Amino acid sequence: MINTGKDHGFLWQNHSKRYGIQNGQINFFKDKHMKWYENESFWQTFGVVLFNDSKVEDAKNEVKQLLDLVSIPHHSKILDLGCGVGRHAIELSLLGFDVYGLDQSRYLLQKAKEAALKKQANVSWVHNDMRNLSFKTQFETVMSLWTSFGYFEAPEDNTKVLDNVFLSLKNGGKFIMELITLEAFERNREPVREFNMGEYTLIETSLYKAGSRKNRFTWTLLKNGKVQATETVSHWLYSSDELVNSLKSSGFKKVKTYGSLSGAKYDDDSHSLVLVSIK
């Protein structure tokens, strides 16, 4: 069920006009400049399915794969950029790494803190916008997982994130990105997709226009067949070559590509791209 915000007073303090419930359905009252990813009620509503138990469980194996793919020094400092509810940050912390989880959503960070407390994981949670990252030569590893890149309207804001990550890494440090690419998206795109998760159903309707370079879709969330909320989401789509070139322009000297965290080859069967860049 929709969390009314009572447990998270800050949501109402900071975003009191952002949504209301009418006939059991959530209506978003966004100011026209607010982007979908800045809307706390978006994460609060759709977070139930995006970060459900099975997705959180998946992170254990993803972290294992990641550590097999990339050698990361024991106890070293890792930044999880756009950490969400801390799926990967918490697992890495339990393995002894010094983990920082950064996100712009106070709601998701609160969920992350609660999960970490439950699992007795010690993560440093940072509330910030990845465009304003100000860490300098601090991390051995930075990671951006599950398409947490390319959300900003202005292309230069997205490249600024890569510049910021470069500056935040120590020499020899690694940046691991995992995201959907333009070519993988175009190969695998379906007009409508339906995901059933217990009492919840998420319906994704594509609004993609070929050549637009943006993945745009609506998500409609149903609970027991009843519509709870609808939101339009969009992010930039970059080709593998464009990403490699952007990373190199930001200063990374080597960039390796894979088709998954398991280290598979990036090819026509891949659904996403993993980039491992070395400063």
Ligand X SMILES: C[S@@+](CC[C@H](N)C(=O)[O-])C[C@H]1O[C@@H](n2cnc3c(N)ncnc32)[C@H](O)[C@@H]1O
3-state secondary structure 97-131: CEEEEEECCHHHHHHHHHHHHHHCCCCEEEECCHH
Of the residues 31, 129, 153, 186, which one makes contact with ligand X according to CB under 6 A: 129
Nearest distance from residue 101's CB to ligand X, in Å? 9
Residue 237 as a binder of ligand X (CB under 6 A): the answer is no
- For residues 243 and 275, give the distance between their C-alpha atoms in angstroms, rounded to a whole number: 8
- Closest to ligand X by CB, 113 vs 131, is 131
Site for ligand X (CB under 6 A): which residue of 41, 44, 93, 105? 105
Give the torsion through C-alpha atoms of 210, 130, 102, 201, to 10 deg. -20
Beta strands in the chain (DSSP E): 19-22, 25-28, 77-81, 98-103, 124-127, 139-144, 169-179, 192-197, 200-206, 214-223, 226-236, 254-258, 273-278
Residue from 49, 92, 99, 108 that binds ligand X (CB under 6 A)? 108
β-bridge partners, 216: 234
Nearest to ligand X of 216, 248 (CB atom): 216
- Cβ 66 to ligand X, closest distance in Å? 11
User: Is residue 87 near ligand X by the rule CB under 6 A?
Assistant: yes
CB of 176 to ligand X, least distance (A): 11
Of 28, 37, 200, 208, the one binding ligand X by CB under 6 A = 37
- Binding residues for ligand X, rule: CB under 6 A, are 37, 82-84, 87, 103-105, 108, 129-131, 145-148, 151
